[in-house]
Amino acid sequence: MITALFNDIELMIMLVGALVGIASSLVGTFLVLRGTSMLSDAIGHSIVFGIVVVWLLTHQASGPLQIIGAALTGILTVFLTELLVSTQKVKKDAAIGLVFPVLFSLGVLLINLYASDVHIDAHTVLLGEIGFVWLDTLTLGGAEVPRSLLSMGAMTLLNGAFIALFYKELKLATFDEALAKALGFAPGVLFYGLLLLTSGTAVAAFDAVGAVLFVAFVIVPPSAAYLLTDSLGRMFLYGALISIASSISGYHLAVAWDVSIGGMMAVMTGVFLALAFLAGPRYGIAAQWLQRRRQRQLNESRTLMVHLYNHEDGPEKAVENVTQALREHLRWAPARARDVVERSRQRQLITQHGERLQLTQAGRRLAQEILEPGVNH
């Protein structure tokens, strides 16, 4: 049963993609909330430098030492970025744009000079090929298990454990860094710990999916989740679900259209982000349009209540509290006037007798609350 499970190539590819997405979105959630998500792009490129330096020192092209070397390169990227920002000569986005091309270029130069005959390819690091993860396996319990599945499973567990262990501290440091410092939580140390995990996730992912898909998973699912909820806990859940859905749908579409699997997975993260942007229950365009529409309708009903209340006891009542007055005095188009009257009548705020409009007790209370706020009616 287990052996058959690991022999399912399609399942292995989708599972590796899902684990890359989950591991990346876990750390990416905090990067998105802090407004530093593009650091993942810088780390994703600069790890080439760390990988080749580790190989030059140890002649190991994979394994824990590579993860440690890449993680330290990620920290170096952030340190140099912060160093440039501290000079107050450049802004943070410009500093990121200055640092990671230098480290990436140094890595490419070192590969060309000293590792041209070794399987360390910058193109592979950036793009990867998730469709071939089933070729590089380890034998565990009689089953051939993809190395990428093991490495990404380990990184997913490690990232999840770190967040679970320091959840309150990370949350406070993300939303109120000054208070975190005052309480002695060392937000800077937590942030660098998060970046260490980001770098480790990047180097664990690059063999399977490449840095580009890693960056997509770090940024896009958490961004989509941010549009769907205000709860940090649900952001993690939604980010993981979007990553899983992107991996599954991206694989099947890539096979159907004969295109890059990793590229289609990245595209699907963008599709889910677009859906969240358009149809999110609170921040989506459709939801905001409906909210503005409801607010406009409420304001129209309030305007009608105040208009009728101001004239219901005056001699001009017969002229003002009729539908014709809404068109002439409030300058409402006939269709708009009919809609406002019908909505108000359905809400039992007014009664209508031919052209004549009259407030109900509920409509009168609403008008009084608007005109005399704070008074108990």
* Three-state secondary structure of 2-27: HHHHHCCHHHHHHHHHHHHHHHHHHH
- Shared domain for 57 and 155, answered yes or no, is yes
| 335 in a structural domain | yes
How many distinct structural domains can be found in the chain? 2
CATH number at residue 331: 1.10.10.10
Q: Are residues 346 and 232 in the same domain?
A: no
Token output for 244: 């899983």
pLDDT of the chain along its 377 residues, tens only?
445 555 588 999 999 999 999 999 999 999 999 988 888 888 877 877 887 888 888 877 666 777 777 778 888 888 888 888 888 888 877 888 888 888 888 887 887 787 666 555 555 555 567 888 887 788 877 778 888 899 899 999 999 999 999 999 999 999 998 888 888 888 888 988 998 898 888 888 876 677 778 889 999 999 999 999 999 999 999 999 999 999 999 999 999 999 989 889 999 999 999 999 998 887 889 989 999 999 999 999 999 999 999 988 888 888 888 888 888 888 899 899 999 999 999 999 999 988 899 999 999 999 999 887 755 55
Instruction: Judge if 127 and 39 occupy the same domain.
Output: yes
pTM for this prediction = 0.81
Place of tokens 């359905």: 346
H-run or E-run covering 220: helix 210-228
Amino acid (one-letter) located at 3 = T
Residue 36 located in a structural domain: yes
Domain containing residue 112: CATH number: 1.10.3470.10
Same domain, 109 and 231: yes
Q: Dihedral of CA 202/208/210/213: which sign?
A: negative
Residue 235: burial class (beta carbons within 10 Å; 0-12, 13-18, 19+):
buried
Domain residues for the domain of 346 are 287-371
Q: How far apart are CA 34 and CA 37, in angstroms?
A: 8
Clarify whether residues 145 and 263 are in a common domain: yes
Q: In 3D, which of 245, 247, 200, 177 has the Cα closest to residue 17?
A: 247
Are 63 and 103 in a shared domain? Answer: yes
Cα gap 113→106, rounded to integer Å: 10
Cα Rg, the chain, nearest whole Å? 30
